Structure 1
Amino acid sequence: MTAFDSFPLGRPAFVTNVLDRAAHLRNDEAKLLALEGKRDTRAYVVHRDSLVVNKENDNSRALLTIDEAIKYGANPGTIFLGLREGAAIFGMDIGAPAAEKLLSRDDVVAIDLRGMAMHGVVPPDQLSAIAMAKSLVNWHQRHGYCANCGSRTVMTQGGWKRDCPSCKAEHFPRTDPVVIMLVTSGDKCLLGRQKPFPPGMYSCLAGFVEAAETIEDAARREVFEESGMRCTDVNYYMTQPWPYPSSLMIGCTTRAANEDIVVDHSELEDARWFDRAEVGLMIQRQHPDGLAGPHPFAIAHHLLGRWMHAG
């Protein structure tokens, strides 16, 4: 199965959620404890940007039993992600010392989530739950202390909240909205590249939505800041959860009001116009100059694919 088969147009990674979040169970500590002890309960174990995966012959298994997770060194205090066909799924974290011990084993490995998604290590329908586990584990690691008084907080509601026993402040996981735009002008589109990108890769422009800002205003502002171009006709396409660490990519299209590019090199290494024929070669990884578009697991690929099909 190729990446194009795994992520057909309109279905990037992390969007196919097969879990029932069963939020009504989050306040029932006795029920959650009982679920952890059931034979069919499973867990995703997260270490930073990686997932602990059990290797079985030529196959990889990301869903571990609770006993397996603890045996590998995962920390107690599981995050309730939801139910899949009635079975509970949890998220767990594992510290650096325990994760390093796994490096010497042949039957288990910690795999970078981005690479795992891109190369089909686990079925695409598991990626949403894995993204949920990663986002929440990372949130708990970063929010162990109260932002109001500095006291140590405690995990509650099945991992969906942290309470401060000192000042009684309540802390909830946050999702950061990010606009990602395909800017077009006739039969051309604007793509840019950042220094961390793989060599030759170009993608859509993107940036965080700021406080008290609409999606439309954020799209126009980001395009102008990065490329010096004004744009109009901002239209929504779709969203994609993005667990790096916990964002929501808001896919939009917009039309350029001018074509003069002034690159902000603190944001981008380069930006340029591409016609449809060139974009087609980039998507298929057949460009004569070795240029490439975004991978099908990312929403940027689907913005480009939708534009290509519309032409």
Structure 2
Amino acid sequence: MDTWSGPGHLDRCEHQRADPAWPAACWTDPAAILIPVDSVGRVGVGEGFALSERPAGEYDPQRHYLLGLSRRRPVFVESVDAVPAGAGLRELMPAVDDERRELVVAAVALASWHRTSPHCGLCGAATVVTTGGMVRHCLGCGRDRFPRSDPAIIVAVLDADDRLLLGHQAVWPQGRMSILAGFVTAGESLEQAVHREVGEETGLLLSDVRYVASQSWPFPRSLMLGFVAHAASTEIQVDGVEIESARWFSREELTGAVDAGEVSLPGEASIAHRLIADWWGRS
């Protein structure tokens, strides 16, 4: 997966979409595709997870949202009650190529935002869709609302012996473990969030923090910001609320635990997997 540092495959067409006639013209393009997304975030796909549905019927700017152009093909999203044949992002992300992964993640994020934002957060009045689906305009106070992402940090913590810290949440299946993560709170920098989350969940102090990469994670609208950090100590004191248990792993210990089925790790399409694999040397 090569989505960590390069440009995206999707042209969001910020300037063209300001003309209301342009998204409507894109709808009639023979190469256009439509990605239906249902109320629980399942994506309508064809055989082999193909994105092959074509726009049909009249273009409705209030329910047909233009993601942009992918290889010059207009890509639309429609929020529907249910999809006849579909898959969730956790199933799709490791199974499709980078281009389709970017499209389905963006489709789910945009559909979810529209579904949950019919009214203005300031005055409570109804909002209408403008600029091809990238803005909701308030009919009451005139305020424009844009799709938002909630920043969350995720961090691979290493000790002086280059061991990796993994934790288990109480709500997870037995044996599932991952690196630590949490949302950034008001007035906090990303690095401060890393120090706070690690301290709250494991009692560890960090000596340094280094940013690595980010990933859109629309569950429901997170932007995961990945870090590597080094611990100043090794004594773990889990909070017992969010993190039920945590331990240090050498590479050999993690290999043995995973191969024996004692530990399961995050899926390969996640930034958690990438951060673990970068340390582990095992994809």
Same fold (TM over 0.5): yes
Please tell me whether the aligned partners of residues 209 and 218 of structure 1 are also in contact (alpha carbons under 8 angstroms): yes
Pairwise CA RMSD of aligned residues?
2.4
Deviation at 1:28, TM superposition (A): 1.3
The answer to which structure, 1 or 2, has the higher relative contact order (CA under 8 A, 6+ apart) is: 1
The yes-or-no answer on 1:264 pairing with 2:239 is yes
| Paired AA for residue 162 in structure 1 | R
- Could you give the per-residue CA deviations for residues 170-191 of structure 1, whole angstroms, max 9, x where no partner exists? 1111111111011111221111
In 2, distance between residues paired with 1:64 and 1:230?
A: 51
Deviation at 1:210, TM superposition (A): 1.0
Please tell me whether the aligned partners of residues 75 and 92 of structure 1 are also in contact (alpha carbons under 8 angstroms): no
The yes-or-no answer on 1:39 pairing with 2:30 is yes
The aligned residue for residue 72 of structure 2 is: 86
Please tell me whether the aligned partners of residues 61 and 129 of structure 2 are also in contact (alpha carbons under 8 angstroms): no
In 2, distance between residues paired with 1:281 and 1:267?
A: 26
The aligned residue for residue 145 of structure 2 is: 171
| Paired AA for residue 166 in structure 2 | L
The yes-or-no answer on 1:280 pairing with 2:269 is no
Which shifted more, 247-256 or 76-85?
76-85
Please tell me whether the aligned partners of residues 17 and 126 of structure 1 are also in contact (alpha carbons under 8 angstroms): no
In 2, distance between residues paired with 1:24 and 1:289?
A: 51
| Paired AA for residue 77 in structure 1 | R
The yes-or-no answer on 1:139 pairing with 2:125 is no
Q: Percentage identity across aligned positions?
A: 33
The aligned residue for residue 162 of structure 1 is: 136
Deviation at 1:140, TM superposition (A): 0.7
Q: Return the match for 1:61 from 46, 50, 66.
A: 50
Indicate the SS of the match to 2:278: helix
Indicate the SS of the match to 1:200: coil
Deviation at 1:208, TM superposition (A): 0.6
Structure 2 gap ranges (5+): none
The change in CA–CA distance for 1:32 and 1:269 in structure 2 (over 3 A counts) is same
In 1, distance between residues paired with 2:188 and 2:216?
A: 20
Once the two structures are superposed, the pairs formed by residues 225-240 of structure 1 within 5 Å of their partners are 225-240=200-215
Please tell me whether the aligned partners of residues 15 and 128 of structure 1 are also in contact (alpha carbons under 8 angstroms): no
Q: Return the match for 1:23 from 5, 14, 18.
A: 14
Please tell me whether the aligned partners of residues 15 and 241 of structure 1 are also in contact (alpha carbons under 8 angstroms): no
The change in CA–CA distance for 1:176 and 1:230 in structure 2 (over 3 A counts) is same
| TM-score when normalising by structure 2 | 0.91
| Paired AA for residue 130 in structure 1 | V
Please tell me whether the aligned partners of residues 75 and 93 of structure 1 are also in contact (alpha carbons under 8 angstroms): no
Indicate the SS of the match to 2:18: coil
The aligned residue for residue 87 of structure 2 is: 111
Q: Return the match for 2:163 from 162, 180, 188.
A: 188
Once the two structures are superposed, the pairs formed by residues 212-251 of structure 1 within 5 Å of their partners are 212-251=187-226
Please tell me whether the aligned partners of residues 33 and 51 of structure 2 are also in contact (alpha carbons under 8 angstroms): no
In 2, distance between residues paired with 1:65 and 1:271?
A: 48
| TM-score when normalising by structure 1 | 0.83
The aligned residue for residue 49 of structure 1 is: 41
Indicate the SS of the match to 1:220: helix
Please tell me whether the aligned partners of residues 36 and 66 of structure 1 are also in contact (alpha carbons under 8 angstroms): yes
Please tell me whether the aligned partners of residues 261 and 272 of structure 1 are also in contact (alpha carbons under 8 angstroms): yes
Q: Return the match for 1:153 from 102, 108, 127.
A: 127
Indicate the SS of the match to 2:109: helix
In 1, distance between residues paired with 2:6 and 2:175?
A: 27
* Structure (1/2) with the larger helix percentage: 1
Please tell me whether the aligned partners of residues 36 and 79 of structure 2 are also in contact (alpha carbons under 8 angstroms): yes
The aligned residue for residue 300 of structure 1 is: 272
The change in CA–CA distance for 1:15 and 1:223 in structure 2 (over 3 A counts) is farther
Structure 1 gap ranges (5+): 1-6, 103-108
Please tell me whether the aligned partners of residues 67 and 77 of structure 2 are also in contact (alpha carbons under 8 angstroms): yes
Please tell me whether the aligned partners of residues 279 and 293 of structure 1 are also in contact (alpha carbons under 8 angstroms): no
In 2, distance between residues paired with 1:31 and 1:65?
A: 18
In 2, distance between residues paired with 1:220 and 1:192?
A: 16
Indicate the SS of the match to 1:269: strand
- Could you give the per-residue CA deviations for residues 83-120 of structure 1, whole angstroms, max 9, x where no partner exists? 12222111111124xx4xx3xxxxxx1211211223x1
- Could you give the per-residue CA deviations for residues 153-196 of structure 1, whole angstroms, max 9, x where no partner exists? 10111111111111112111111111101111122111112234
The change in CA–CA distance for 1:165 and 1:198 in structure 2 (over 3 A counts) is same
The yes-or-no answer on 1:205 pairing with 2:180 is yes
In 1, distance between residues paired with 2:89 and 2:7?
A: 16
In 1, distance between residues paired with 2:49 and 2:274?
A: 27
The change in CA–CA distance for 1:222 and 1:142 in structure 2 (over 3 A counts) is same
Deviation at 1:62, TM superposition (A): 2.5
